Amino acid sequence: MNDLRRAVLTYYAYRCISAIGFIGPFLNVFLVTRGVTFTDLALGGSAMAAVTVLGEVPSGYVGDRLGRRRSLLLSQTLFAVGISSWLFVRSTAAVVSVFVVLGLGGTFQSGSTQAWLYDVLDENEQAGRYTEIESRGSALRLWVTATTMVAGGLLYVVEPWIPFACAATLSWTGVGIVASLPANAQYRGRSGEGEETADENEEKSDNPLTPRRALTVVRRFLGRPDLRGIVGVVAVFGGVCFAAGDYLQPVVVGVLPRTTLTVAGVPLPEFVVLGCLYAAFTALSAAAVDRADALQVALGARGALFALVGVGGVAMVVPLVAVRALGGVATATVAATLLAVVGFQTCLEVVQPIHSAYLNEHAESIGRATTLSAVAFVGAIVRVPILLVGGRVADTTTPTVALAFVGVVALGVVIGISLSNRTKSVDSRTASADD
């Protein structure tokens, strides 16, 4: 087995252990039964958001300076500590602390994961395979998530702590997997014996990545006209889908028939049914995201991204149209709502590897993690007003209306930027003809 194949397989294993479906469907339910309040959860979520916004760019810089593998190792360790702590959370301070730890883990992972993979492929003259490999990794993560969602729901019925123990074990296993990832070439010594220290790496470079240079690289990258539209569209769509996650459960539950599923005559608890339903959604998304590379080849990166965001926005409007036109519990309404939910979730999953590949192709190797973290920072900033306005709409109307509202926002942005780009293209051609 050659070094590149071994590195890719290790990366796939890393993506698989990043799935935490074991506890996803019922984490909040479990915490509330242990005395945690919804106010505690809101405080924790706010603290996590703050850490994400403030830590994205600095953590990306750390990844570029000390090595992407080291950044990922720190990230996975933080995730393992956070996930293992859920069993012991019973107070506001504990809830906030765990959310902060998980938020830090996310910031050290976001830019470094993509930067590590792209540079490994580029070193082996295989950068063109990035979308294929990244989409396959995303698909594997989704398949594992779907499987563990179902398993977690069934294990929760047996004993509530078991799925948490499984999630913690999987996460700590990931620490060892990340440690076995090869270092990128620019962080390896001449003898190939692992990563250098930052000082040793700087001595070999005529242009070390200082904080000032990192900011220059980020500013130049985000200021490029050919990138601004893509970054803006995907940032809005990511924020819209994040907000849509808050309305997903009430929208789905609102249209499902009021029946009780049973196995061998034993009724299944609601969270088991929902876990199976979410697992089905996730499995369908996994099947689609594994074909992201084919879509990119067919439409081009920009065309695929704009098309996916447009389709995702339309899908969010479908449940409201179905309820108003067909009635709240009609079979057609249920089918349309479920297909719409699968639709916009799948679009988001497929967008991510194509967007990541497009950014990596246009980013410099030095400062790559910092640049990608800066893009994630833009997404986190854009998410805030969408969440606030969407939440207000949901409170004053219904979650279905709020879902349609954020879908219209995504549609408006992609249509607006598409028309703007077309106008600029026409003006450019006109100017060339005049010359």
Buried b (16+ CB within 10 A) or exposed e, 123-160: bbeebebbbbbbbbbbbbbbbbbbbbbbbbbbbbeeeb
Total domain count, the chain = 1
Name the range with the highest mean pLDDT among 1-5, 344-348, 406-410: 406-410
Q: How confident is the model at residue 189 (pLDDT cuts 50, 70, 90)?
A: low
What secondary structure letter does DSSP report for 91? Answer: S
Those residues whose C-beta lies under 8 Å from the C-beta of residue 205, and which sit 6 or more positions away, are none
Confidence of residue 77 (pLDDT cuts 50, 70, 90): very high
Q: Is residue 198 part of a domain?
A: no
For residue 396, pLDDT over 70 is answered with yes
pLDDT score of 206 more than 70:
no
pLDDT at residue 174 is higher than 60: yes
Q: What is the pLDDT of residue 262?
A: 55
Residue 21 lies inside a defined structural domain of this protein: yes
Beta carbons within 8 Å of 297's beta carbon, 6+ residues apart: none
Residues with Cβ within 8 Å of residue 41, at least 6 apart in sequence: 28, 31, 95
Q: What pLDDT score was predicted for residue 387?
A: 80
202 domain-assigned: no
Amino acid at 293: D
**Residue 215 domain-assigned (yes or no):** yes
Reply yes or no on whether the pLDDT at 407 is more than 90.
Answer: yes
Q: Collapsing DSSP states into helix, strand and coil, what is residue 432?
A: helix
Q: pLDDT-derived band of residue 198, with 50, 70 and 90 as boundaries? A: very low
Q: How many CA atoms lie within 13 A of 130 on its CB side?
A: 26
* Segment 403-415 mean pLDDT: 93
Residue 201: the pLDDT is 46
Please determine, for residue 10, whether its predicted confidence score (pLDDT) is greater than 90.
yes
pLDDT on residue 411 = 94
- Identify the domain containing residue 94 by its residue range: 3-188+211-434
Q: Please report the pLDDT score of residue 110 as a whole number.
A: 78
- Percent of the chain at pLDDT exceeding 90: 23
How many other CB atoms are found less than 10 A from the CB of residue 318? 20
In a domain, 199, yes or no: no
Residue 28 clears pLDDT 60, i.e. is over it = yes
Average pLDDT rounded to a whole number, residues 153-181: 89
Which stretch of 79-88, 173-182, 250-259, 357-366 has the lowest confidence by average pLDDT? Answer: 250-259
pLDDT exceeds 90 at position 9: yes
pLDDT of residue 50: 82
User: Is residue 193 in a domain?
Assistant: no
Q: Is the pLDDT of residue 199 over 60?
A: no
CATH number of the domain within which 280 lies: 1.20.1250.20
Give the 3-state secondary structure of residue 264.
coil
User: Does residue 159 form part of some domain?
Assistant: yes
The pLDDT of 133-147, averaged and rounded, is 87
In a domain, 197, yes or no: no
**Residue 362: band (very low, low, confident or very high) from pLDDT cuts 50, 70, 90:** confident
- pLDDT-above-70 percentage for the chain: 84
pLDDT at 85: 93
How would residue 193 be classed by pLDDT, with cut points 50, 70 and 90? Answer: very low
Instruction: Compute the average pLDDT of residues 33-43.
Output: 79
Taking 60 as the threshold, does the pLDDT of residue 179 lie above it? yes
